[in-house]
Amino acid sequence: MSKPENVKVLAPAKTPAPHHGEHDLQRLWSAVARKEWSSLVLVPVSAAASTKVLAGKMLEIGELFRPRPKLFDGQGAQLADGPRLAAEMKEYASGGGTAIATVDPVVNSLAGIPLVLAADAAVLVVDLRESGLPDAHSTIEIVGRDRILGCVAVA
């Protein structure tokens, strides 16, 4: 059977290939979106597990699903900066915005603890090459097991 002359076969639209790790980021967003929160902090377990790139990617995805996502960068913060950043984040989130914060490892730096305690929820970031079990346990105790939505492993 031949195809009629007035029917055109359209090729499927080409979609760009997803960036490396994009599916993992989408799964992470889906996992954290299941819970109610307006402020989320990304907590590295070790110094090797920087959270800035992950936070930036989460903001990009968050723009599609949440009102006014904004980054509160606590990495490299001084001890006196922690309470100020925490207050700014809480005010922003209570005004209807979505806050995503980054901090240094809380087992090594006290500056991020006010942000961690002010956030509604947390995601731990574990570097598989460097993060140790004792630091992971200490981080979980500081953050509070009930506030942790999940864990991201990076290598």
| Statement: residue 75 has pLDDT above 90 | yes
Higher pLDDT, 33 or 16: 33
Residue 19 banded pLDDT, cuts 50, 70, 90: very low
| pLDDT tens-digit map of 128-147 | 888 788 899 999 999 999 99
Task: Give the separation between CA 82 and CA 22, rounded to whole angstroms.
Answer: 31
Question: What is the reported pLDDT for 21?
Answer: 64
Percent of the chain exceeding pLDDT 90 equals 54
| Domain boundaries of the chain, sorted by first residue | 36-154
Task: Give the separation between CA 104 and CA 52, rounded to whole angstroms.
Answer: 10
140 burial via Cβ count (<10 Å: 0-12, 13-18, 19+): middle
| Residue type present at position 25 | L
Q: Which two tokens stand for residue 18?
A: 């997803």
Task: Give the separation between CA 49 and CA 95, rounded to whole angstroms.
Answer: 31
DSSP H/E element including 74: strand 69-74
Helices (H), the chain: 22-33, 52-65, 81-94, 113-118, 133-143
| Statement: residue 26 has pLDDT above 90 | no
Task: Give the separation between CA 40 and CA 47, rounded to whole angstroms.
Answer: 19
CATH of 36-154 among 3.40.50.2020, 3.20.20.70, 3.40.50.300, 3.40.80.10: 3.40.50.300
| Statement: residue 41 has pLDDT above 90 | yes
| Statement: residue 56 has pLDDT above 50 | yes
Predicted TM-score (pTM) of the model is 0.83
3-state helix, strand, coil in the chain (%, to 5): 40, 20, 40
Rg (CA), the chain: 20
| Window from 17-21, 45-49, 55-59, 61-65 with minimum mean pLDDT | 17-21
